[in-house]
Amino acid sequence: MERIGVVGGGLMGSGIAEVCARAGCDVLVVESDAPAAEAARARIEKSVRRAAERGKILHPDDVLAQVRVGTDLDELADRELVIEAIVENEDAKVDLFAKLDKIVAPDAILASNTSSIPIMKLAVVTQRPQQILGIHFFNPVPVLKLVELVPSLMTSEETTTRSRAFVEQQLGKQAILCQDRAGFVVNALLIPFILSAIRMMESGFATPEDIDHGLVLGAAHPQGPLALADLIGLDTVKAVAESLYEEFKEPLYAPPPLLLRMVSAGLLGRKTGRGFYTYD
């Protein structure tokens, strides 16, 4: 697959666009408006230039030439694969997939980068459920090798096979297959761990620094759970936790009150400059 569309140019969408362009694909990123499109373009260029400075990319201008950024979904009509990477909101994603189904060629694959929403809920609003699946990248996309492939009950084996070949052979990532259930593999394990750390802090049992140092120095984690939550974005942690709780109704998946209050206050972690820690 050579013509790739990405809807949403935030941290995840811009990272997906970058790795596709680095693999030689013709990439079109579609954003909601002109300011968002300009921010996405700047985000991609900054990341590519930084990678070139570190010797990861030899010809950054060639990579950037592979990427276009626009605001019109209709321009995605000729794409072979479109990856949705918008806000982690079920209604917004369902609405987008219904629109994309009418725009993109009938034989194209539509994929979601969702970290928690069941793929079947997106597939049933289209006329091509056999060509819908989850392709879930991890942040930062240019660095982390893992991709979760999430076929629904309706996804064809051909779609899964083509998507796996794209992820592994073209992008050079490592794919794992996951059942279509909230959280898939990684977040179903990771989010309860993060929520447990938040509850420990909330109860006054330990400080954020001591919790994170304990896991880094005592369990050889590269990053503590609260610093990781700040990197993911506390709004995303909350959204994934709510999806898990809605599906399984287990208390360990329920977002703690502190997390809810921080999201309401706009303290979302690195992207807002403050979460469990403060950032420049």
Of the residues 113, 115, 116, 152, which is catalytic? 115
φ, ψ at 171 (rounded to 5°) = -90, -15
> 3-177 with 187-271: one CATH topology?
no
Q: Write the burial class of residue 265 (CB in 10 Å: 0-12 exposed, 13-18 middle, 19+ buried).
A: exposed
> Which pLDDT score is estimated for 155?
98
- Note if 242 is an active site residue: no
Q: Which residues pair with 37 in a beta bridge?
A: none
CA-CA distances (angstroms) from residue 279 to 43, 87, 154, 205, 275?
18, 23, 44, 24, 8
Which CATH number applies to 3-177?
Answer: 3.40.50.720
Reported confidence tier of residue 55, pLDDT bands at 50, 70, 90: very high
| pTM reported for the whole predicted model | 0.89
Active site residue 89: no
- Which among 80, 84, 148, 242 is annotated as catalytic? 148
The pLDDT value given to residue 167: 98
- Kindly report which listed range (39-43, 114-118, 166-170) carries the lowest average pLDDT score: 114-118
Specify the pLDDT at position 150: 98
pLDDT at 144: 95
The widest CA-to-CA distance across the chain, in whole angstroms, is: 55
At 139, the pLDDT band (50, 70, 90 cuts) reads confident
**Closest to 252 (Cα-Cα) out of 183, 195, 173:** 195
- The answer on pLDDT for 116 being more than 90 is no
Question: Annotated catalytic residue: which of 14, 187, 242, 243?
Answer: 187
The catalytic residue among 80, 84, 113, 136 is 136
Q: Under CATH, domain 187-271 is a member of which superfamily?
A: N-(1-d-carboxylethyl)-l-norvaline Dehydrogenase; domain 2 (1.10.1040.10)
Q: Per-residue pLDDT averaged across 1-17, rounded?
A: 96
Across all residues in the chain, what is the average pLDDT? 96
Q: Catalytic: 18? A: no
Q: Is position 136 annotated as part of the catalytic site?
A: yes
Q: pLDDT, tens digit, for every residue of 142-196?
A: 999 999 999 999 999 999 999 999 999 999 999 999 999 989 999 999 999 999 9
Domain boundaries, given as residue ranges, for the chain: 3-177, 187-271
